[in-house]
Structure 1
Amino acid sequence: MKPTSSSPGLRALSASLREVREARKFGLRELARALEIDPRLLSQWELGMRVPPVEEVARILGYLRVDRTTTERILFLATHAKEPNWLDSNPSDLPAALTAVMQCERTASQITNWSPLIVPGLLQTPDYARALLTASGIRVDEADARLMARLDRQRILSTRQPVRLRAIISELAIREMVGDENLMSDQIDHLLVLSAAPHISVRIVPADVGYHPGKIGMFALYEFPADPAIVYMEHYHASAFVNELDAIASYRKLVKLLLDKALTEEASQALLREAAR
């Protein structure tokens, strides 16, 4: 069963078109006039209300003289904009999927992260994030770009109207050593500080609860004010977005199962304080 609103690819495409235009200091009406496009139509493309033809996207990028790497990424988004589910299995320095993730995070009213092995990206300290990227064998320049993008994403938690974040984290992610003891202690202290914010909930699933389907892998559930939810899953060399309503219902059931197994917020904070010693 397919939703009727914008897909993950369309969300990423609309944001990318707006960003490249603004980066080159073009007003929307100015660009529309230069390309002989109805400004209302161009606005709808940038808002994700309509899907632009791939040829028109290529024409916009050519007129703005966008670099080859960015052009390839945006044309990839344009090609997949209508797909309710989307697999990105060819990550670049900043994968197309990351653009979709950032747009989902910026427009969501609530995000639920399930993370069985590492601290979720939105809650990572810079040192923790850097250690993960370094251990993954990523080139230094690529690691720098991904680190900056990750830190920029975290700004959604500190705006005047921040997104509500529900982080469900396995105890294994807290006990697993990333970097050294000082780095992990700082990371856990950071989780404690963030968990005190009214819009952030941190719940820990004890390591000894036994098997549950959440152990299959991490995911993020993005809820929007008016549109159907989107689920994002990330693996080593591939990322996937799920936008079908039946699949979303299954993930909502999984979230409920994980919350039933998780400690309360107060008990989770107690575990974090113990782990930080």
Structure 2
Amino acid sequence: MPPRTAVTGRSQEPRRRFAEELRLMRTQRGESLRQLGKALGWDASLFGKLESGQTIGSPEVAEALDQHYGTPGLLLALWELAAADPTQFKERYRRYMFLESQAVNLWHYAVSVLPGLLQTEGYARALLTAGGITGTELTKQVDARIGRCEVLNADNAPHFRTILSEAVLRTPLADTNEWRKQLEHVVAMGERPNITIQVVRLDVGPHALPNTDTMFLRLPGGRTSAWVETAYSGELVQESESVERLQHAYDAVRDLALSPADSRKFILQTLEEVPCEPST
């Protein structure tokens, strides 16, 4: 095997380097994308996107590839460099993304849009377009967001609970076919043993988290951090007293939410209300 360039923070194009390294390792093994996907339990199309640089995937995928190729830590280090690339994610998200990849439990509350971990490509594209992102940057951010969803597909995936404000389900996409796909995806994800989805109805009135998307990350060792976000900014909260105060607010909202079973019925009812448009 030819010598490899040292992995350092001075790598000029970490995303491209990551893609090239993956392609080199696979071709030297003589594996097809289909064979690689079968060996690791992910769809072959994911590895095609990784090797073309369309997405960087998740740290779980990088770790699985390190184990497969016998390169402990190399691909994960390259993934971390790619994730830290300022063209990939803004500075304020980097620490949060790392903690998200390490979390053993994730608890979330959504004010008006679905959490990124449950978004389809069409939904993510519509949201980012509405935010003014276009062209190649749009494609890059959509792929990055969908790649992060792999955290829920790993063998040791964390338990993920999200409480959705009813407003999330009452804010459809302009494309009803894409909206239907998104709701069907939410229903399917809610059937997984590591995912719990609840809905808090609008008629419960004011509550403790009226306008703040919140994600709690329970980390190995029992420590919990929180990420709070608006449409324009996000903040990582790690001071224990502040996290505990947010946790109390979250628990109060959860007490108001429908049960997981009733929430599923509510989402299915919402899905039935979506008009069917003939495919073109």
- The alignment's TM-score, normalised by the length of structure 1, stands at 0.67
Match for 1:94 among 62, 82, 89?
Answer: 89
Match status 1:202 vs 2:208: no
Residues 59-92 of structure 1, C-alpha deviation per residue, up to 9 Å, x if partnerless?
Answer: xxxxxxx99x94xx5xxxxxxxxxxxxxxxxxx6
Structure 1 residue 97: Cα displacement? 2.4
Match for 1:181 among 176, 179, 184?
Answer: 176
Match of 1:116 in 2: 111
Q: SS of the counterpart of 2:150? A: helix
- Following TM superposition, the consecutive aligned residue runs of length 4 or more in structure 1 with deviations greater than 6 angstroms are none
AA paired with 2:183?
I
AA paired with 2:109?
W
Distance, in Å, in 1 between the alignment partners of 2:198 and 2:116 is 16
Please say if residues 172 and 207 of structure 1, whose CA atoms lie closer than 8 Å, have aligned partners that are also in contact: yes
Per the alignment, do residues 239 and 18 of structure 1 end up closer, same or farther by CA in structure 2, a change over 3 Å counting? Answer: farther
Please say if residues 116 and 217 of structure 1, whose CA atoms lie closer than 8 Å, have aligned partners that are also in contact: yes
Distance, in Å, in 2 between the alignment partners of 1:164 and 1:93 is 26
Match of 2:143 in 1: 148
- The alignment's TM-score, normalised by the length of structure 2, stands at 0.66
Distance, in Å, in 1 between the alignment partners of 2:244 and 2:111 is 21
Q: Which has the higher contact order (CA 8 A, sep 6+)?
A: 1
Please say if residues 128 and 179 of structure 1, whose CA atoms lie closer than 8 Å, have aligned partners that are also in contact: no
Please say if residues 110 and 164 of structure 2, whose CA atoms lie closer than 8 Å, have aligned partners that are also in contact: yes
Please say if residues 228 and 243 of structure 1, whose CA atoms lie closer than 8 Å, have aligned partners that are also in contact: no
Match for 1:131 among 112, 126, 129?
Answer: 126
Distance, in Å, in 2 between the alignment partners of 1:95 and 1:119 is 20
Q: SS of the counterpart of 2:215? A: strand
Per the alignment, do residues 169 and 93 of structure 1 end up closer, same or farther by CA in structure 2, a change over 3 Å counting? Answer: same
Match of 2:209 in 1: 214
Q: Which runs of 5+ in 2 are unaligned?
A: 1-7, 22-80, 273-280
AA paired with 2:250?
V
Distance, in Å, in 1 between the alignment partners of 2:109 and 2:266 is 18
Match status 1:241 vs 2:236: yes
Match status 1:250 vs 2:245: yes
Q: SS of the counterpart of 1:213? A: coil
Match of 1:266 in 2: 261
Per the alignment, do residues 225 and 134 of structure 1 end up closer, same or farther by CA in structure 2, a change over 3 Å counting? Answer: same
CA RMSD of aligned residues (A): 2.6
Match status 1:166 vs 2:161: yes
Question: Percent of pairs identical after alignment?
Answer: 25
Q: SS of the counterpart of 1:220? A: strand
Q: SS of the counterpart of 1:216? A: coil
Per the alignment, do residues 254 and 17 of structure 1 end up closer, same or farther by CA in structure 2, a change over 3 Å counting? Answer: farther
AA paired with 1:108?
A
Per the alignment, do residues 93 and 156 of structure 1 end up closer, same or farther by CA in structure 2, a change over 3 Å counting? Answer: closer
Please say if residues 220 and 232 of structure 1, whose CA atoms lie closer than 8 Å, have aligned partners that are also in contact: yes
